[in-house]
Structure 1
């Protein structure tokens, strides 16, 4: 994002996957990219649901029992719901150090519930680029800090008048 107004020391915006820094000013096909990625996530979720259906049919053909089929459906449903809610919530806050262990333990649940992750991504693209709200808040805070520092250092200190003592 080369602006003529920006100085070299001004903070640069964080890049978001698939969007780069176009989220800052919504340029370079940002809206089209959001629509395309949202539709792609929905299509991937539908294909994933078909994949899970085939996995269920494989268990049903094996005739392991209705309890196993019920457990399989329950596991996919619970993991998808947990993955959906965790993924949607992760777009609005950065995990801190104590959340790191929780997030690492959620990897397997997100893997099994990948349909929920894809649906959360698709739902978030309806509003904005996933993670844009968080990145925008951090970028605006960094810009405000930069402007305060620059305003405090305006002028040439050598050109200031020295007070005379009498």
Structure 2
């Protein structure tokens, strides 16, 4: 879009100058001022993530029953339960901490398999976070406010006509 297309009829830009907020999944940029059905979206996200976690537990229960019917032994059944419990706990912690700090991309890539196995923990972290805010809102808000403050500082730093500036007598 050209600069001329980005102008309204009175000649001013449509959007304010400076940094723009980063959109969040399911929320867009409504997290900035909590408008546009923000509360309804949070409720929907909470219900959806809890329903997905419950469905995932049901599927795991069917898989566990399949192992029990196959009569492969109690050790393998116990191993499967412990593996899903540990992976879910680690996925919960990793997802929860990802809402307050940016995760390292290399670490994220190395944990992809573990996070896939512990997807129930990630869904539960998403559910619990959505009870208080949009998941990731705190991190994005801090980054946006910091960028906004830096932009405002840059813009106001050079105000006035420099040729009229008083010179010090030394």
Fold equivalence (TM over 0.5): yes
- The residue that corresponds to 2:8 in the other structure is none
Shift of 1:62: 0.6
Work out the CA distance in 2 between the residues paired with 1:40 and 1:132. Answer: 18
Structure 2 residue 78 is the aligned partner of structure 1 residue 70? yes
The secondary structure found in structure 2 opposite 1:127 is: coil
The partner residue of 2:20 within 2, 12, 36 is 12
Structure 2 residue 136 is the aligned partner of structure 1 residue 128? no
For structure 2, the residue ranges without an aligned partner over 5 or more in a row are 1-11
Listed one character per residue, the Cα deviations across residues 102-134 of structure 1 (whole Å, up to 9, x for unaligned) are: 221211111111111100000000111111101
Shift of 1:100: 2.8
Listed one character per residue, the Cα deviations across residues 51-72 of structure 1 (whole Å, up to 9, x for unaligned) are: 0000101111111111110001
Work out the CA distance in 2 between the residues paired with 1:140 and 1:133. Answer: 11
Structure 2 residue 160 is the aligned partner of structure 1 residue 152? no
CA RMSD of aligned residues (A): 2.1
Change (3 A) 1:149 1:72: same
Shift of 1:9: 3.0
- The residue that corresponds to 1:26 in the other structure is 34
Change (3 A) 1:137 1:150: same
How many residues of Structure 1 are paired with residues of Structure 2 in the alignment?
A: 157
- The residue that corresponds to 1:140 in the other structure is 145
Question: Residues 35-50 of structure 1: matches in 2 within 5 Å?
Answer: 35-50=43-58
TM-score in terms of structure 2 length? 0.85
For structure 1, the residue ranges without an aligned partner over 5 or more in a row are none
TM-score in terms of structure 1 length? 0.87
Listed one character per residue, the Cα deviations across residues 36-94 of structure 1 (whole Å, up to 9, x for unaligned) are: 10110000000000000001011111111111100011111111111111111111001
